Amino acid sequence: MSTETVTIEKLGAQGDGIASSAGGPVYVPFSLPGETVAIARVKSQGTIMSITTPSPDRQEPPCRHFGPDGLNGTCGGCTLQHMADAPYRAFKRQLVIDALKSKGLTPEVGAIVPARPGERRRVVFAARKTEKDMLVGFNQAESHHIVAIEECPISSAGIIARLPAIRAIAASLATSAEPFRIAVLETLSGLDISVDDVKKLSDPQRRKAIETALSLRGIARVSLNGEILVEPSKPMVEFGGVQVSPPPGGFTQATKPAEEAMAELVMAHAGKAKRIADLFAGSGTFSLRLARIGRVHAVEAEAKALAALDHAARNTQGLKPVTVEKRDLFRRPLMTQEFKPYDAVVFDPPRAGAEFQCQELARSAVKKIVAVSCNPLTLARDLAILVEGGYRITQVTPIDQFLWTSHVEVVATLEK
């Protein structure tokens, strides 16, 4: 380890400051462009010891778990709390511009739809039982050390108010000192708690966990490794006025405002389409809204998510027909000729994107496409495929769903 003083030139894609040195770039978390900082350096990684020249864009972090000095955050949940709002949003928008440019695409990128504190309804905690305590929090960056949290400005008040209940459920399920995951979703009927990576429970442990959950207020469901342990009330979320009960640990957008912003863009572009294909449909975030304007064919690989979508569609009045298809679109994308019936296609894949699916879609005659993505790099690759196939990008909107991190959602619309 060596100690040296460096000047931060720019932020990297992960939000770390980057400084130049004789041996190549040095990555310095919690620094900002223009700052002169003294660092302890190991290879290409620097840890701030002190700041000689702070940036005017530096702000006081709003959360005590971010680090006592706002320099080397203890909690690994957020990475950019030390950056003022305007430059932070500009940085995230620029990530999208740079990703598109890397594939030769230069469409106009709109202003970012901002995220605000207290909006996160889906949070994944790390947990571990110690001799004295039950730790529930987030892993420190680049570490297995769990920082137990008492507050979390990004998370909804409903989740933070029930941290003691989440801890009690975690304690009733912990069978060893091994760490495990707790996914918490705030639903209309209470918290949906999905625990993974815990070994099989004995019958007495199972009974104790069920009794614990039933004794607590505001808990809708507790599941373990995908199996429902107890469900005092069915967890319900709403997609554009349609109520859906997602499967345990099932995917939902992390914040309601971001979901609404995405859905608004999807609906506006679909316009008056009579037949719509929704690919990677999940539990129906977009499908069930789109069914108010046209017939929808929803394609999804996860059987439980698809069943939730299907059940909601069948039990909601006023929707156009919704058909569902269980299909792994990575292994078996819809072929070009299968797109013939559709006026519009929406796709919202995981981080890996939809490369093979876009190759087929690019050869189709579908008039309108909406691409939704949580990864600007794979989105840029997919859009380049579609543009080469004769599509024109009409709008690109970045959406900040993961506040104070380097993750950014994007909705892009295209026309043939």
CB 6 within 8 A of CB 36: yes
Residue 69 has what pLDDT? Answer: 55
Q: Are residues 279 and 205 in the same domain?
A: no
Q: Are residues 203 and 263 in the same domain?
A: no
What is d(CA 234, CA 298) in angstroms, rounded to the nearest whole number?
23
Domain-located, residue 75:
no
Binding region for S-adenosyl-L-methionine? 253, 280, 300, 348
Residue 175 has what pLDDT? Answer: 87
Domain-located, residue 357:
yes
**Tokens 């030390």 found at:** 82
At residue 256, what is the residue type?
Answer: K
Q: Are residues 263 and 218 in the same domain?
A: no
What is d(CA 57, CA 74) in angstroms, rounded to the nearest whole number?
21
Q: Are residues 109 and 127 in the same domain?
A: no
Distances (CA, A) of 152 to 76, 129, 182, 189, 324: 12, 21, 16, 22, 38
In the DSSP assignment, the letter for residue 257 is: H
Domain CATH for 23 = 2.40.50.140
What is d(CA 362, CA 351) in angstroms, rounded to the nearest whole number?
20
| Domain total in the chain | 3
- As to burial, measured by CB atoms within 10 angstroms (0-12 exposed, 13-18 middle, 19+ buried), residue 142 is exposed
Q: Are residues 294 and 399 in the same domain?
A: yes
Q: Are residues 165 and 215 in the same domain?
A: yes
Residues of the chain with pLDDT under 70: 67-73
Domain-located, residue 247:
no
What is d(CA 128, CA 133) in angstroms, rounded to the nearest whole number?
9
What token pair was written down for 392?
């024109």
Domain-located, residue 354:
yes
SS3 state at 7: strand
Task: Verify whether residue 374 is a known catalytic residue.
Answer: yes
What is d(CA 88, CA 59) in angstroms, rounded to the nearest whole number?
11
Residue 161 has, within 13 A of its CA and on its CB side, a CA count of 12
Distances (CA, A) of 50 to 40, 253, 350, 381: 10, 38, 39, 40
What is d(CA 48, CA 38) in angstroms, rounded to the nearest whole number?
6
Domain CATH for 319 = 3.40.50.150
Q: Are residues 41 and 132 in the same domain?
A: no
What is d(CA 3, CA 343) in angstroms, rounded to the nearest whole number?
61
- Residue 395: phi, psi to the nearest 5? -160, 140
What is d(CA 135, CA 284) in angstroms, rounded to the nearest whole number?
34
Q: Are residues 333 and 206 in the same domain?
A: no
Q: Are residues 272 and 365 in the same domain?
A: yes
CB 137 within 8 A of CB 126: yes
Catalytic position from the list 63, 78, 358, 374: 374
Query: In which element (H, E) is residue 203 found?
Result: helix 203-215
Q: Are residues 221 and 318 in the same domain?
A: no
Angle at 393 between CA 391 and CA 394, to 5 degrees: 125
Q: Are residues 169 and 301 in the same domain?
A: no
**Tokens 């981080």 found at:** 351
Domain-located, residue 25:
yes
Picking from 230, 264, 286, the residue at the C-terminal end of a domain is 230
Distances (CA, A) of 118 to 146, 184, 260: 22, 14, 16
Domain-located, residue 241:
no
CB 79 within 8 A of CB 405: yes
| Residue 286, domain extent | 91-115+255-415
Of the candidates 278, 294, 288, the residue with the CA atom closest to the CA atom of residue 246: 288
Strand extents, DSSP E, 261-383: 275-279, 295-300, 322-326, 344-347, 368-373
In the DSSP assignment, the letter for residue 173 is: H
Picking from 230, 263, 294, the residue at the C-terminal end of a domain is 230
Domain-located, residue 40:
yes
Residue 68 has what pLDDT? Answer: 46
Backbone φ/ψ region at 225: left (φ over 0), alpha (ψ -120 to 50), beta = left
Domain-located, residue 373:
yes
Q: Are residues 286 and 378 in the same domain?
A: yes
Residue 22 has what pLDDT? Answer: 85
